Homo-oligomer: A and B are copies of this chain.
Amino acid sequence: MDSVNKGALFVLSAPSGCGKDTVLSFLKERDCNVKQSISVTTRKIREEETDGVDYYFTDVADFEQKIQDGYFLEYVKYGENYYGTPKKKIEELVESGYNVFLKIEVEGAGNVRKIFPDCISIFIVPPSFCALEERLKGRGTETEESLDRRLKIAREELSRAKEYDYIVVNDKLDDCVDDVCAIIKAEHSKYSQMKDFVDNL
């Protein structure tokens, strides 16, 4: 990868409970030049969150102005809250050679793919559906009802796995992160990425 300085845009999705946050935070510690794109949201900041790290927090008026200004690569509204992905920042990071990761749900991933057809999309899946159920239960934060709802959504999301370039199983975290690193490395060896290098030989 030394000889090629172009970055790439990666889209990372996973059903809730598959550990995509943990995978991303471990990935950023590895030697693969990963930056996570930080989304903008209008939802209230939680106690454990930091503005500019977890999200950029803003108000509805500012968010809606940004929509008008074409600031977002994509945005969605869940209930009362907006979530958006800043476009220019991503382009700048990719230009500077970073492998920019967007953590995004299945619907948003589809929108990003339309705008950046070259993006590389990775879907993290649990080793089994039972394991997913166990993990969600293990959190201890789900009621019977919210668990059922999450599992139903997970099934729907899993049925859209075919929209992704890569499927990575999160059984052992380190193996999962290894697999994502391998994907990043391999993508940089793709002919399309290496074309300029070969032409200059």
A contact set with B: CB distance below 8 Å: 1-3, 122-123, 125-129, 158, 161-162, 164-169, 171, 175, 178-179, 181-183, 185-187, 189-191, 194-195, 197-198, 201
Contact = CB atoms under 8 A, between A and B. Distances in A.
Contacts of A179: 1, 185-186, 189
List the 5 shortest-distance A-B pairs measured between CB atoms, nearest first.
Answer: A186-B186, A182-B185, A167-B194, A182-B182, A166-B189
Contacts of A182: 181-183, 185-186, 189
15 contacts: A3-B169, A122-B189, A125-B201, A126-B201, A129-B201, A162-B195, A165-B190, A166-B190, A167-B197, A178-B185, A179-B185, A179-B186, A179-B189, A182-B185, A186-B187
A191 B167 contact: yes
Nearest to A164: B191
Contact of A191 (B129, B166, B169, B185): B166
A169 B1 CA distance: 9
A197 B169 contact: yes
Nearest to A199: B161
A165 B191 contact: yes
**Residue in A129, A198, A201 with the greatest tally of chain B CB atoms within 10 Å:** A201
Contacts of A186: 166, 179, 182-183, 185-187
B158 A198 contact: yes
A178 B183 CA distance: 12
A161 B198 contact: yes
A129 to B, nearest CB: 5
Nearest to A180: B189
A122 B194 CA distance: 12
A123 B197 CA distance: 13
Contacts of A198: 125, 158, 161-162, 167
